[in-house]
Amino acid sequence: MIANFGFGALVITFLVSLYGAAAAFYGARKNSPAWIESARSAMLLTFPLLTLVALTLIYLLVSASYEVEYVASVTSNSMPFYLRVTALWGGQAGSLIFWSWTMSAFASAVTLRNWERDREFLPWVILVSLVTLAFFLLMSILVENPFERIWQISTGSIVVSMFQPAGSVLVFPSDGNGLNPLLRHPGMIIHPPMLYLGFVSFVIPYAFAIAALVTGRTDDRWIRITRRWTLVAWLFLSLGLVLGGRWAYDVLGWGGYWGWDPVEIAAFMPWLTGTAFLHSVVIQEKRNMLKHWNMVLIILTYDLVIFGTFLTRSGVLSSVHAFAQSAIGPLFFSFISLTFVISLALLGRRWGELKANVQMTSLFSREALFLVNNLLFIGILVVCFWGVIFPILSEALGFIGSAIPALADTFTGQKVTFGPPYYERATAPLFAGLLFLMGVAPLAAWRHSTAKTLGRAVWKPGLASLLVPVLAYLLDVRHWAALLAFWLCGFVIFVTLYEFWRAARARQRSQGESLGLALWNLAGRNRRRYGGYIIHLGVVLMALGIIGIEMFQTETQGTLARGGELTLGRYTVVYNDLAVFDLLDEGRNVARSVVNVYQDGQYVGDLYPRRDYYYESQQPMTIPGVRSTLEDDLYVLLVDWQPISTQGATFKVYHNPLVNWLWLGGIVFILGTLVAAWPDPEEPLPAPARLPAVEAGVQS
C-alpha cells in the first residue's frame, strides 16, 4: 500500500506538471492573468507532492521493505540508518526522484519572488521549468519506477512490476544487495546532492533566457534577476566536482583525484560553460555587449546538464560513476535534441535584436580579454566533448560497416577511447591561458586600453611574480612547464593581492580607516568584485595542487615480507603487521595492515592501509593509508597479501607533492563564491521595465 501511495503521488505530480505547463502557455498566449496564476499554483503544488513521493521512498528504504525492487537493490540489513536514507540517490530510480524533487524546490522558490516588474517572464519561466520537470517525472513513471515490487509468477519465475501480474504472489526477501561499497564513503553522501543541486539550479537562468527570447526583452533584466541563481548553481556544481575529486582520492585507490573519466567530464562540461557565462554576463551589464554569447552559453549549459545526466544514466559509457544500462537513453537524447533545436530557433528569431549598440574598440580592453576568456573555455569544452562523444561515434559507425560491406574496413565498429594524455596535452595550454587572463584582466581598463597602459599596470605584480619560479628553481625544479605554471600562479596571486592593497590604501587615505577595516568595508560594499578575487585565489591554490600531483607524483610497488621496506624519495615504508577479521554487523571482511613511515630516516608515524570486502555485494573497496601535510601526501595502498603464516603483502606507494593545496583552494574557492553571491547592501536598482501586456490586463 505504501508503494502504491508513492506511485500515485508521482503520477499526480506528473499530471499537475502537464496542466501547469499547458496553463502557462495558454495564459501567455491569451494574456490571461487567471490562467497564469493557475499555472503558478500548479508549480507550487509540485513541491509538496514530490516531497510526499521522496518521503515515501525514504520510508521504504529505512523500513527494509525488500519487496520493493529498488529497496532490495540499494539497501541491506547491515547498512546503518544514514546510509539507508542516502540510498535515495544511490541508484538510478531513486536519484531521478531526488533530481525531480530538487528541481521542483528551485522552480517553486523562483515563482515566489515579486513578479510585478517582470510579469511577462512568469508564464514562460513556469513553462520551461514544468516541461523539464515533467520529462524527468515521465522517466520515473515509465522507465525507472522506484516503487516497482518483486513478484513470483506461477511458473516460479521472478518478475518486477508496479502492479500484480495474474496468478503471482509478492516476494519478501530477507535481505537486500546493499549499496555499492564505493558509495558508502562520506563524500558520496554529499557529492551527488551537490551535483544535482548545481544541475537543477541552472534550469532557472535558462528558463529566464528563453522567456527573454520569447517576449523580446533584449536588455539585461533577465541576467540581473538570475545573477544569484546562477552563482548558487555554479557554487553547488563546483562543490560537487571538488567533493567528487576527494571521493576518488580516498576510495578508488589509484592515487589521484581526477582521471578524465567520461562521467567526470560530463559534469565538468556544464561547469565550463556556466563559468564562461558568469564572466560574460558582466560585459552585458557593464557595456551592453556579448548578448549573443550569453544566450548561447546558457543554452549550452542547460543542454549539457541534460546531456551529462543522459551519459550517466543511459549506460552508453563505461564508468565507475555511471549507473547500469537503462532504456532511458533514447528518451533523453530526444529531449536534448528537442530543447536544443527550439532554443536555437528562438535565438535565431531574436538574433538581430541582440546585436550590441557599441563596438569593441581595443584589443587590450577588459571586454576584449573577457571575450578571449570565453573562447578559451569553449576550446576546453570542445576538447572534452570530442573526447567523450568519439567513443560513442566510433562504436556507432560499426553498424554502417556491418550494413555496407564496402565500408567494413573503414568503419570497423571498434570502440576507440581517449585517455588522460589526450585531455592533458590538449587542455593544458588553454588552462594556462585562463590563468594568465586571471592576472591580466583585472588590471585592464574598460572600453579603451593600450598595451602601454596595461603594461604600466601589470609591471609591478609581474616583476614580483618572478620570485616564484626563481624560488622553485632553487628548490631543484628544472622542468620548464612546471616553472611556467608556478610563475602563472604567482602572477595571479600578486595581481590579486596588489588589487586588494591598492584599493584598501585608497580607502584608508580617504576614510581614515585602518588597513584591515578598509579591506573589510571594500569587500562589503562590492561583494561581487572582491568575492571574484577570492575565487581567483582559490583557483590558484587548487592549481598548485594540480601542478604538484600532475608533474611531480612518483610511485613504487613491491611485495614485502614482515619487516621489509620500500623507499620512495625521502620516505621509507616498513611493513609491520597484518590482521584479517570480520565485522559481521557491517557485512564486511577487513584486511588491515600496519606500516611504519620514516622521512629522511626519522620515524614520523604509522599508516593503516586496508581492503574491505562486502559479502552482500561481493565487492572489495581499497582504503589507503595517507600521511598528509601541506608539503605532500604519502599515499599507501594494500594491493594484496599472503596467508597470515607467511605475512607477505604487496604495497603500492604514491608520493603526491602539494596535493593538499587542491583541497585548501577548494575551501577558499567556495568562500569566495559565497561572498560574491551575498547581496550588496547598496546595490543599485535596474531601470524600470516597460509595462507588459499581461500586467496591463491585471490593472484594467
Q: Please tell me the predicted confidence (pLDDT) of residue 326.
A: 57
Q: Please tell me the predicted confidence (pLDDT) of residue 506.
A: 85
In the predicted model, residues of the chain with pLDDT beneath 70 are 313-327, 395-415, 644-647, 680-700
Question: What does pTM read for this prediction?
Answer: 0.88
- What is the DSSP code string of 362-391? -TTSHHHHHHHHHHHHHHHHHHHHHHHHHH
Does some domain include residue 628? yes
DSSP 68: B
Q: Please tell me the predicted confidence (pLDDT) of residue 407.
A: 46
Residue bearing cell 549598440: 357
Please give the sequence-ordered ranges of beta strands (E in DSSP) within 600-665, or none if there are none: 602-607, 610-614, 619-623, 625-628, 632-641, 649-657
Q: Which of 160, 179, 198 is the last residue before a domain boundary?
A: 179
Q: Which residues contact 687 (CB under 8 A, 6 or more apart)?
A: none
Does some domain include residue 456? no
Does some domain include residue 670? no
Q: Please tell me the predicted confidence (pLDDT) of residue 539.
A: 94
Number of domains in the chain: 2
Residue bearing cell 567556495: 670
How remote is the C-alpha of 16 from its chain's centroid?
A: 30
**Alpha carbons within 13 A on the beta-carbon side of 290:** 28
- Which one-letter amino acid corresponds to residue 344? L
Within the chain, what is the greatest distance between any pair of CA atoms?
A: 91
Strand partners, 567: 572
Does some domain include residue 13? yes
Q: For the chain, how many residues are written?
A: 700
Contact 377, 271 (CB under 8 A): no
For residue 652, give its domain range: 554-660
Q: Which of 179, 208, 226 is the last residue before a domain boundary?
A: 179
- Cα–Cα dist 281/296, whole Å: 12
Which cell is 246 given?
576527494
DSSP 681: T
- Which one-letter amino acid corresponds to residue 28? A
Does some domain include residue 274? no
Q: Which of 130, 147, 179 is the last residue before a domain boundary?
A: 179
**What Cα–Cα distance (Å) separates residue 371 from each residue in 216, 374, 376, 441?**
24, 5, 9, 11
Does some domain include residue 320? no
Model confidence pLDDT, tens digit, residues 38-90: 999 999 999 999 999 999 999 999 999 999 999 999 998 888 898 899 899 88
Task: Tell me the CA end-to-end span of the chain in Å, nearest whole number.
Answer: 50
Does some domain include residue 42? yes
Q: Please tell me the predicted confidence (pLDDT) of residue 402.
A: 56
Q: Please tell me the predicted confidence (pLDDT) of residue 15.
A: 97
Exposed, middle or buried, 216 (CB in 10 Å: 0-12/13-18/19+)? Answer: exposed
Does some domain include residue 560? yes
Q: Please tell me the predicted confidence (pLDDT) of residue 327.
A: 66
Q: Which residues contact 332 (CB under 8 A, 6 or more apart)?
A: 139, 306, 309, 310, 313, 314
